[in-house]
Amino acid sequence: MKIAIIKYNAGNVKSVEIALERLGVSSLLTDTAEEILSADRVIFPGVGEASSAMRYLKERSLDQVIRGVKQPFLGICLGMQLMCQYSEENNTDCLGIFSEEVKKFNPDVIQLKSPQIGWNNIFDLTSPIFAGVAENSYGYFVHGYYAHLGMHTIAKAAYGMNYSAALSRDNFYGVQFHPEKSAEVGSKIIQNFLDL
């Protein structure tokens, strides 16, 4: 199986590459349309800031490439947020794969620290990528922005309110938490994605 990890200017993709190696599969870090479109699975990781990441993708026409992917596609953390319609982070128009929007945690409203860092429950799991994953399992989250609940929500998390822990539409999946760092639960989710 050929797995492409999209290479762009958002953060640390090494953890994803190594998580795949732990599952016994190798991957290719790439930013070329040909390699992305010919892969069996595409992973779109990312940590960092939305507007500079979107600008980088657009400059290289990777936004068009991503929208055109037909194989199972998984966005992680910022990757998932960039797949949404819009992000409040520097008023960024994103890829629009999911109609949901990304908002900033308001510490005054939620009375909690932001960014959220650590292990939180994922629940109301409704997707094959959560096959064999128990309700209220823990995922590892690091984020100051969140996607609200919407028609594409396939998992929820609660931090002051309920929000989307994962989204999906057709072949596209996005998870807010880091499956590559979420112990056995995370490995199971990645394996499910590879098995789709």
Partner 1 sequence: MLTKRIIPCLDIKDGRTVKGTNFVNLRDAGDPVELAGLYAEQGADELVFLDITATNEKRKTLASLVNRIAHAINIPFTVGGGIASVEDVRVLLDAGADKISVNTAAFKRPDLINELAAAFGSQCIVLAIDAKQHDDGDWYVYLNGGTVSTSAKCTDWAIEGVKRGAGEILLTSMDHDGSKNGFAVDITNKVSSALSVPVIASGGGGTPEHFFEILSQRADAALAASIFHFKEIAIPDLKAFLRKRQIPVR
Active-site amino acid positions: 77, 178, 180
Q: Which residue has the tokens 């999911």?
A: 98
Residues 23-62 that bind partner 1 (CB under 8 A): 47-49
Choice from 25, 28, 29, 142 touching partner 1 (CB under 8 A): 142
Which among 10-18, 81-89, 145-153, 163-171 is the span making contact with partner 1, rule CB under 8 A?
A: 10-18
How far is it, in rounded angstroms, from Cα 159 to Cα 165? 11
CB 180 within 8 A of CB 16: yes
Residues 63-102 that bind partner 1 (CB under 8 A): none
Closer CB to partner 1, 32 or 187, in the complex: 187
Closer CB to partner 1, 22 or 67, in the complex: 22
Angle (CA) 102 104 109, round 5°: 130
Closer CB to partner 1, 21 or 88, in the complex: 21
Residue 158 sits in the site that holds partner 1 (CB under 8 A): yes
Q: Collapsing DSSP states into helix, strand and coil, what is residue 26?
A: coil
Which among 63-71, 88-96, 124-132, 135-143 is the span making contact with partner 1, rule CB under 8 A?
A: 135-143
Amino acid at 159: Y
12: which 2 tokens?
């640390």
Q: Collapsing DSSP states into helix, strand and coil, what is residue 107?
A: helix
DSSP 3-state percent helix, strand, coil across the chain (nearest 5):
30, 30, 40
Binding interface with partner 1 (CB under 8 A)? 11-12, 14-15, 18-19, 21-22, 47-49, 107, 112-121, 138, 140-142, 158-159, 178, 180-184, 186-187
